[in-house]
Structure 1
Amino acid sequence: MLKAAIVLLLVATLVSLFSGLFFLVKDEGRSSRMVTALFVRVSLSALTIALIAWGFYTGQLRPGFG
């Protein structure tokens, strides 16, 4: 369950990344939508890192490929 949440957050981060790129090209810097996309991306990344740390702390995630 935790791994699925982490993957979902990573996908959402990528969507936010590409939406920021779209707003950069489309708006040419005249709108705050790119700044909003950046804020969302940073928040999602911080949440992903927090979930990974929580997974290691609780033992749900282990280092390695096993």
Structure 2
Amino acid sequence: MLKAAILLLLLAILTSLFSALYFMLRDTGRSNRMVYALYARVALSALALALIAWGFYSGQLQST
């Protein structure tokens, strides 16, 4: 279950990154949508990092 959540977060991070790229190319500085997409990416990355750390701490994830 934890691995699926981490995978979904990584997909959401990629989606946010590519949406920021799209907004950068289309808006050309007229709106803040790119900035908001990058803020979302940073927040999702922090959440993914926290989930990975919690997985190692709880023993659900192991390094091989």
Q: TM-score, length-normalised on structure 1?
A: 0.95
- Which residue in the other structure is 1:22 paired with? 22
CA distance in 2, matches of 1:42, 1:11: 13
CA distance in 2, matches of 1:48, 1:40: 12
The aligned length equals 64
SS of structure 2 residue aligned to 1:60: coil
- Which residue in the other structure is 2:5 paired with? 5
Kindly report the root-mean-square deviation, in angstroms, between the aligned alpha carbons of the 2 structures: 0.4
Give the deviation of 1:35 after TM superposition: 0.6
Give the deviation of 1:5 after TM superposition: 0.1
Where does 1:47-62 land on structure 2 (aligned, <5 Å)? 47-62=47-62
- Which residue in the other structure is 1:38 paired with? 38
Give the deviation of 1:30 after TM superposition: 1.5
Over the matched positions of the two proteins, sequence identity in percent amounts to: 67
CA distance in 1, matches of 2:50, 2:29: 31
Query: Which runs of 5 or more residues in structure 1 are unaligned?
Result: none
